[in-house]
Structure 1
């Protein structure tokens, strides 16, 4: 591989924003890819994949380069040189690489690869927390998988098209996909591609949604004609899936504390041909109280640490802080206590997170069931999804029934 100066500069600019300005990696990469219209798919792929790879292994590469945060631009070039050397890429005769100690880099890599926090590049506190909750073996296997690049998974919008027809349409646009056993509405891309430019996406034939995330809506046992509430709807990925499962019949109330996210859902719903969704901002306790004992089904896709989706958000390893984990557990318990009141007798509720920590998952469900608010509910089943076993994101979901 030959390194091109303008592409490398784009990566360095992106890393500066992510590491030193606390910008979100996905937003930074999107911005970088719009920098030069002349860049082809290979150029864009280099920028995106290289940026994410260096973010993913920030601690390892930084340790080998002997630099510490906050990074100067020279520091970032040293980190870049470490990445390129370990990838076997010949460094060009640029001033940034004149004193790159290639043999020393490989030697340090061999040494540090024996230590998990460096090999998998993770903060000490996060590693210790996960080990205490999951054990050494399980966490080691999971963390290794969470450092791999995630597949691109599509969820077929069955309101408009079948999985087989969508596969054919994408093939006509030079995008090859494959079915995934056990995931009824999923298509996996054989190679990464910008699916948002396809005519199929513009027509609302699919959404990009990880296979594990696609399990959540189905876990709620919805049927056409029901009254369903999605209380942490966000931009509505699971809301739209619920609409498909309900065949656009009945009512889905999508709620969130952020009106901006619900506005995005409105746009997505229009593209998907979904018309049974009402959107309500949770700006006080009134919207919740109005729905007490009214819902056949309630989905609580709770705020969480996101430790199950590090493959997609590797920068969150460096943004998360221990105190956030403690705070979010309190929020999760409050969500269960407040939103469960919307379930009517005989109705069901799913509590879900994209975390792999028991303290955010089954422990929260147990605490709820032992609380005053949870006495009316019985535990039906749960699903602990680990990336190293499923091949997809880490997730948790629990189904409860109101007596």
Structure 2
């Protein structure tokens, strides 16, 4: 199956500026194409992934991806999807964010070989441009009525939009012109909210390049969940690619908790599994959903892609330990990941503690009477080992790497004792 048919099968294509032109071009030549992102934070979250994974599919098919992080446009702010002005960032903040995003994007693309990816920052060509050059060389080609017809601008007219954000679409269009001229970039990929900015770039290419338009734009759909809630959000917030913001275990758990109604769509969108593999997993969802084969495959593919094989193995180990209650073999690092959100209690590092007193102090049991009942009934485990002795005292031997003791009350209620 060719690339375009594969993208359509996966449901990835939303809009195309010239479907026949794109089809003819891709069938006869290998092209350079780009996708861009503004550095509003120092990490991507999973809502950013689909355009870049789509760009990677083009690379796998032999085309050359250009990966743009907008050090210049990030100083302005895209009005797309916003009801008010974006708070402007300092140049130092933007450049720090650029470096963080570029590091993550290097995980997704191959930068060596004949069609190795090219990493660019639009601050390199737009940052030093003077206002007269901007107005004469670019502003002259974009009519006010054309810009007012853009949804991202029209939606802000009543609430107000600054000239700064009003010009954003021209700045992004400049990127396409620059990459087209300097790197023969023939296509831009973006989310569905970027259609207006993509077409501005094509408009500038049409007017500024003597050979006429030879470029295209493609947008991908907004990722949604079957129940109508927002994709990529959890109770604790966004699911980040930065392991310091969202641990590999949390990242893995996000994907493995995907609903049956969404998992096949996400396998098509986000993984590089073949059609046959995905169709087999789709049958598993229908015939044996309790095994959650599709969710496991999705979680493994995504965690391996973003965090690597070692982090995937660690996430699986933590998941199995929590499920089975066999937590004593976890390392301190793994405990920090797996028990990040469980109730915790800071205990003195230089004292032994009676288990009953500790259960009350850590509010695991509401009273000493209840604590004795819990221990006597076998409801309390220390590092996965059931304790029934009401006189049990925790010692240094109960501390994992000298830092943690894991208490479980009942089957699923975990508590973390920190020293």
TM-score w.r.t. structure 2 length?
0.26
